[in-house]
Amino acid sequence: MTRRRGLCYSAWAVERFDAVVIGSGFGGAIPALRLAEAQRKVLVLEKGRRPAPRELRFSWDPRYLQTLQRFYLTDDYLAFFQSAMTMGGGSVVYAGAMLRAPSEAFDFQDRDGQRLWPKGVDRAAMDPYYAKVEEAMQVRQARWDEVPKAGGVFAMLLSNLGLSCDRGRFPFVGCLQCGFCEAGCQFGRNQTLLRNYIPAAEQLGAQFRAGADARSIEPYDGGYRVLYRDAMGAAREAWGKVAVVAAGAIESAALLLRSAQALGGVSLHLGKHLSNNGDVAWYWMLPEGKFPPFELWRGRNNAVMITYAFWREHRLTIHTGCGPPALIGALDIRREAGAGSLAFGLEHKRLMSALYRGRMVGGIAIGLVHGDGEVQIDSRGNPKVLFPMTPELSAYTGRVMGVARSIAEANGAEVLAVVREGAPLGGAHQLSTCRMGDDPARSVVDAGGEVNGRPGLFVSDAGALPGGTGVNPALTVAANAERIAEQIIARHP
């Protein structure tokens, strides 16, 4: 009998598999399928439940959203992160932008001038894996008639400055533009992992267990024993010759930190280098009557258009942000022209009702920055997120807002900031807490995703990406998971 944090795990009840995968998002579902195809007996433990389409709702009520997502607030209340907590992971609640990272993202260096991505992992090496995911998930460029009006207004803002933008790529088939992607697509138009990788793996015998919360991992009998709580709260354990950690950048780090003692020590880099992929968001307040009528919430949650016009000079891309009324109502939206915080009260209400329908359009920048955040665990083993506003992040945010202002000025618009001055944003694109690398002294996992000094233990999710992607990261997480799956199979026949 093993005792862990008040739970009893009985050794006789250990179920045995070739591979135990923790998490069913991009980093987990993809290796699960590839391992099942290689005739491995696979168990996937997923903390979230498996929502039936009829359970999904047109709702931005945080109580509903928390049935599919998890929110993390930093201790100083300045930054917040959100991630998926459902079978299928981020693919079920994301906005669906699936973009290949530009080549330069793979050449990004740490502060000592060392390339962050392992040798040989560059855009050319990733392209076949990108193509594999795009085919499996039916990712394609949005058609012109699929661009929401907010995306069209974004294009006009850029065009008035002589800049171009283009339509992004999505795994949506027959999208109805209802505007609730991040609440879960009720119409089955988003080709989530629940419609491709997961059922394909299940057909080959892989078991996906919903409501299974992995608490720790320990070396055992030539493989790894994963201690978890099942959907009824009972303590259970599963053994795998190989264990694949893919619980998302925050939860994977927390799980490995909880397991540090049992694993006989972990890298000093575990949990460190948390990056938000350089996300910075704002809104433009448009001048009255100069742009065609549109409503911010109509269409997809990502209004499709993206510009690479600032990539060469600033290493950042900007895509159109939308925003449901509930989110806009909760943001600390401020006019830069000295009107102060407008997050609450009558003044905020009046401004939003005047602007929301046709005079506000959002911008979200993504760029290359060093990750200086950290995931730690509290006394109960739960993740604690630190995300300080470092001088580098502050300078980067200043550059981004400068770009946002230059677009505003060329259009007679005004920038509305969405976070307090001096506060970092956080976001939904967290990366790099278990980063890959060639040098074990600077990384947690090697180029194949295997934990340094722990053969058979892999990390294959966003935590393994060593640097930002310059665009929304899901496709790169997924392609990297395809690449790591190959390594798992080759290294552990």
255 near ligand FAD, rule: CB under 6 A = yes
Q: Which of 102, 223, 240, 248 is in the footprint of ligand FAD by CB under 6 A?
A: 248
d(CA 129, CA 479): 5
428 near ligand FAD, rule: CB under 6 A = yes
**Secondary element (H or E) of residue 243:** strand 235-245
Give which of ligand FAD, ligand SF4, none residue 176 binds (C-beta under 5 to 8 Å, depending on kind).
Answer: ligand SF4
Contacts of ligand FAD in 108-137 (CB under 6 A): none
* Closer residue to ligand SF4, CB minimum distance, 82 or 397: 82
* Closer residue to ligand SF4, CB minimum distance, 183 or 266: 183
473 near ligand FAD, rule: CB under 6 A = yes
Give which of ligand SF4, ligand FAD, none residue 172 binds (C-beta under 5 to 8 Å, depending on kind).
Answer: ligand SF4
| DSSP-derived 3-state class of residue 285 | strand
User: Which of left, alpha, beta for 6 (phi over 0: left; psi -120 to 50: alpha)?
Assistant: left
CA torsion, points 113, 116, 121, 124, in degrees to nearest 10? -60
Binding mask 70-109 for ligand SF4 (x = CB under 6 A): ----------------------------------------
Report, in Å, the least distance between residue 249 CB and ligand FAD. 6
Q: Which of 51, 89, 118, 299 is in the footprint of ligand FAD by CB under 6 A?
A: 89
C-beta separation of 332 from 192 below 8 A: no
Helical residues (DSSP H) of 60-122, grouped into ranges? 62-65, 90-93
474 near ligand FAD, rule: CB under 6 A = yes
d(CA 397, CA 275): 14
Give which of ligand FAD, ligand SF4, none residue 282 binds (C-beta under 5 to 8 Å, depending on kind).
Answer: none
Report, in Å, the least distance between residue 170 CB and ligand SF4. 8
Most distant CA pair in the chain, distance:
72
d(CA 465, CA 368): 13
At a CB cut-off of 8 Å and minimum separation 6, what does 313 contact?
none
100 near ligand FAD, rule: CB under 6 A = no
Q: Which of 11, 53, 187, 287 is in the footprint of ligand SF4 by CB under 6 A?
A: 187
Residue 335: C-alpha distances to residues 326, 343, 396, 417 (Å): 19, 11, 20, 7
Cβ burial, residue 430 (10 Å; 0-12/13-18/19+): buried
* CB half-sphere exposure, 476, CA atoms < 13 A: 30
Q: Which of 176, 268, 354, 490 is in the footprint of ligand SF4 by CB under 6 A?
A: 176
Give which of ligand FAD, ligand SF4, none residue 151 binds (C-beta under 5 to 8 Å, depending on kind).
Answer: none
| The two structure tokens encoding residue 325 | 């009324």
Binding mask 185-224 for ligand FAD (x = CB under 6 A): ---------------------------xxx----------
86 near ligand FAD, rule: CB under 6 A = yes
- Give phi and psi for 256, each to the nearest 5: -70, -35
Q: Which of 31, 90, 184, 426 is in the footprint of ligand FAD by CB under 6 A?
A: 90
175 near ligand SF4, rule: CB under 6 A = yes
* CB half-sphere exposure, 290, CA atoms < 13 A: 16
* Closer residue to ligand SF4, CB minimum distance, 134 or 213: 134
* Closer residue to ligand SF4, CB minimum distance, 184 or 426: 184
Report, in Å, the least distance between residue 151 CB and ligand SF4. 13
d(CA 290, CA 410): 13
Contacts of ligand FAD in 9-68 (CB under 6 A): 22-28, 45-48
Which residue type does 474 have? A
Helical residues (DSSP H) of 117-240, grouped into ranges? 123-137, 149-159, 197-203
Helical residues (DSSP H) of 225-324, grouped into ranges? 249-258, 311-314
Report the 10 Å Cβ neighbour count for 94. 24
Q: Give how many residues touch ligand SF4 by CB under 6 A.
A: 13
182 near ligand FAD, rule: CB under 6 A = yes
Q: Which of 2, 67, 177, 452 is in the footprint of ligand SF4 by CB under 6 A?
A: 177
Give the interface segment with ligand FAD, choosing from 90-98, 308-316, 396-404, 448-456 (CB under 6 A): 90-98
Contacts of ligand FAD in 329-368 (CB under 6 A): none
Of 288, 284, 277, nearest in space to 404 by CA = 284
> Which residues sit at the interface with ligand SF4, rule CB under 6 A?
172, 175-181, 185, 187, 189-190, 300
What are the residues binding ligand FAD (CB under 6 A)? 22-28, 45-48, 69, 82-86, 89-90, 93-97, 182, 212-214, 246-249, 251, 255, 302, 428-429, 461-462, 472-474, 477
